Amino acid sequence: MWPLEQFTVFDDARIHVELLAAKVTVTAPGELDIYLRAFARIAELAVYGADARAIIVKALDALR
C-alpha cells in the first residue's frame, strides 16, 4: 500500500505534489481546496515546542 503523496503548499494558487513517478503542479481551484484542507488538518495534528521535544526524547529513550 502506498502512502499519501507528499505535497508542498506555496500559496493559495499553486501546490506541488510528489507522486511515485512524477511531480505535478496543481492549480485548479477545486483541487487546490482539497490539498489546502488536508494541510490544515495535518497542521491541527502537529505537535510543537515542549510537547514535540517530549515525544522525541521518549522515542530516543526507547532506542537505548
Residue identified by cell 485548479 is 28
- HSE toward the beta carbon, residue 58, CA cutoff 13 A: 6
Bridge-based pairing state of the strands 15-18 and 23-26: antiparallel
Question: What is the spatial distance between Cα 15 and Cα 31, in angstroms, rounded to a whole number?
Answer: 9
Per-residue confidence in pLDDT tens, the chain, 64 aa: 667 789 999 998 999 999 988 999 999 999 999 999 999 999 999 999 999 999 999 999 999 9
Q: Please give, one letter per residue, the 3-state secondary structure of 2-27.
A: CCCCEEEECCCCCEEEECCCCEEEEC
